[in-house]
Amino acid sequence: MMNEAPLIYTTRGNVPVESLRQEISWEDTPTYVKMTERYFDLNDGEVVKESAYVLSKVGLEMGTFVESV
């Protein structure tokens, strides 16, 4: 039976998850969606862990054009 507090890796090493506040934000644009996950130390409010996940919706297109002779 696990009775140890779950830990998470941060700039301060492995710390109990319960000592942190998690915040998730989203950015939705025509070309990508980005989810940012931040963990703040409850004591001093410093960001101790931050991850970002980008989903590209559409890449780059090179068009070819035909001109009349």
Partner 1 sequence: MANTAGVSGVAKQAALGAIVDGKTLKAALYLTSATTGPTNTVYTSTGELAATGNYTAGGASVTNANSAGLTSTTAYWTPSATISWANLTTSGATDCVMIYSTTDTNRNIGTFTYGSTTVTAGTFSLTMPTNDSSTGLVRFS
What residues make contact with partner 1 under the rule CB under 8 A? 9-11, 27, 29, 31-32, 34, 36-37, 47-64, 66
Q: Which amino acid is at 65?
A: F
CB nearer to partner 1: pick between 2 and 24 = 24
Q: Using CA atoms, how far apart are residues 15 and 40, in angstroms rounded to an integer?
A: 12
Nearer to partner 1, 18 or 37 (CB): 37
Q: Would you say 3 or 64 has its CB closer to partner 1?
A: 64
Alpha-carbon distances, residue 22 vs 57, 59, 65 (angstroms): 26, 31, 50
